Amino acid sequence: MLYQFMEVQRAMLAPFAAWAANAASAFSDQSSLLSHVPGAPAFAAGYDMLYRLGKTYDKPRFGITAVERDGCVLPVLEQVVQESAFCRLLRFTPDSAVHGAAASQPRPAVLVCAPLAGHHAVMLREVVEVLLPEHEVYVTDWTDARCVPLACGPFHLDDYVTELQGFIRQIGTREPLHVMAICQATVPALAAISLLASAGEPTPRSLILMGGPIDARRRPTAVGRLAADRSLLWFQRNLIYTVPNRYAGAGRKVYPNFLQFAGLMAAQPGLLMASQQAYYLELLRGDYERAEALRRVYDAHHAVLDMAAEFYLDTIQIVFQEFRLACGSWCVHGVPVRPQDIRATTLLTIEGDRDAICGSGQTQAAHDLCRGITVRDKQHVTVSQCDHYDLFSGPRWRNEIYPGIRALTRQDG
């Protein structure tokens, strides 16, 4: 009943949110007379705050329309190159038809494996923006489980691995590929490449793992301790609900977005408060262009999807309770996952020393598992003064982390 109650609450707040949005627009739109009254930015900020308290945060768009390269502004094409019930593979590339040879020069391809851990893939918008000028960028865009009809069947962690295998095969047959996996996605990404290697199939040029629980036993955080201290039955009884009839996925069991958002706020309250404060300060100053950029970040943090119950429970059990990847006991659809079989892929692991989501050493554990990769093809980086979200957004991502990734992906360029 909790899911249904939340839906009723959202419906009741919708008219109030719409009224507050119109009022905020009236005080901020320069064509409106109200925008010129004394204190208009403060009124706009206040009404906008009321609007955001009552609104529903739908899935944001990437909205990347252009990038700059060598002093030229290149329009960006966003394409869906493969689609299943639970995921779309997106491709971002400059429009070579518009800018000819300058945009069509060979560029390394990077598959960005977005985590299926609450937020939509658009949380990695800044990753895509920074990679785009010099790379072909592919992104796994996971579907909100409440939008997937029950007839499409279940979605397990093993299915996530299988999806990644298919994407790697498709991209790798056309161009050299580098795989970048972030947070929760590090575990299935390493599994997918391990299975390809074990089967004698080509593997990516490099695997970049960032802030993920490869071995959640190492310096566990509050997130990991919660998963380890509760029984699987506790998670089933307390966090799993049924999608209401108004959605395409009616009847599907999910870990709903509102419970996930509450957990994210508990884990990183400072981050959400900081993004909100920065946004409203720009509104108060009347700098609506800067506020709009911050609004995208704010909305991305607040937009959370429903996760299929079986996927969520698999992740709790396999990653945080039984540590199957680290222990060498994980089988995907009956096939053993053997990271030691990877040989032709360079491994780069990246951690933040202040990561409250994934403890220090959890990602680096991949080096011990990937025994078939030579020492010269392994690298680990710990970024100082860096929390979980700094790994893929903000100045540390742009100025400290990306240059090392660029150097790795351009080795063959």
> pLDDT averaged over the chain?
85
Residue 282, pLDDT score:
64
Residue 256 lies in a domain: no
Residue 103, pLDDT score:
46
Give the list of residues 6+ apart from residue 165 with CB closer than 8 angstroms, or none.
192, 195, 196
Domain span at residue 87 reads 66-237+306-409
Strand partners, 88: 83, 141
Residue 413, pLDDT score:
45
Low-confidence ranges of the chain (pLDDT < 70): 1-2, 4-21, 27, 33-36, 39, 42-57, 96-105, 173-174, 262-280, 282-284, 287-301, 412-413
Residue 21, pLDDT score:
63
Q: Which long-range contacts (CB under 8 A, 24 or more apart) does 65-68 make?
A: 67/94, 67/129, 67/132, 67/133, 68/133
Residue 291 lies in a domain: no
Per-residue pLDDT tens over the stretch 18-56 = 656 677 777 677 777 666 677 677 666 665 665 655 556
Q: Which long-range contacts (CB under 8 A, 24 or more apart) does 293-298 make?
A: 296/60, 296/63, 296/125, 297/393, 298/52
Residue 393 lies in a domain: yes
Residue 182, pLDDT score:
97
Distance between CA 331 and CA 272 in Å, rounded? 37
Residue identified by tokens 């946004």 is 279
Residue 262, pLDDT score:
65
Residue 403, pLDDT score:
96
Q: What is the pTM of this model?
A: 0.84
Residue 261 lies in a domain: no
Per-residue pLDDT tens over the stretch 313-370 = 999 999 999 999 999 999 999 999 999 999 999 999 999 999 989 999 999 999 999 9
Residue 119, pLDDT score:
86
Distance between CA 329 and CA 186 in Å, rounded? 17
Distance between CA 235 and CA 216 in Å, rounded? 18
Number of structural domains found in the chain: 1
Per-residue pLDDT tens over the stretch 126-149 = 999 999 999 999 999 999 999 999
Residue 292 lies in a domain: no
Residue 268 lies in a domain: no
Residue 229 lies in a domain: yes
Residue 88, pLDDT score:
97
Residue 286 lies in a domain: no
Contact present, 189 and 204 (Cβ < 8 Å): no
The length of the chain, given as a count of residues: 413
Distance between CA 216 and CA 210 in Å, rounded? 14
Contact present, 66 and 74 (Cβ < 8 Å): yes
CATH number at residue 75: 3.40.50.1820
Residue 101, pLDDT score:
45
Tell me, letter by letter, the H, E, C secondary structure of the chain.
CHHHHHHHHHHHHHHHHHHHHHHHHHHHCCCCHHHHCCCHHHHHHHHHHHHHHHCCCCCCCCCCCEEEECCEEEEEEEEEEEECCCEEEEEEEECHHHHCHHHHCCCCEEEEECCCCCECHHHHHHHHHHHHHHCEEEEEEECCHHHCCHHHCCCCHHHHHHHHHHHHHHHHCCCCEEEEEEHHHHHHHHHHHHHHHHCCCCCCCEEEEECCCCCCCCCCCHHHHHHHHCCHHHHHHHHCEECCCCCCCCCCEEECHHHHHHHHHHHCHHHHHHHHHHHHHHHHHCCHHHHHHHHHHHHHHHCECCEEHHHHHHHHHHHHHCCHHHHCCCEECCEECCHHHCCCCEEEEEEECCCCCCCCCCCCCHHHHCCCCCHHHEEEEEECCCCCHHHCCHHHHHHHHHHHHHHHHCCCC
Residue 9, pLDDT score:
56
Residue 20, pLDDT score:
63
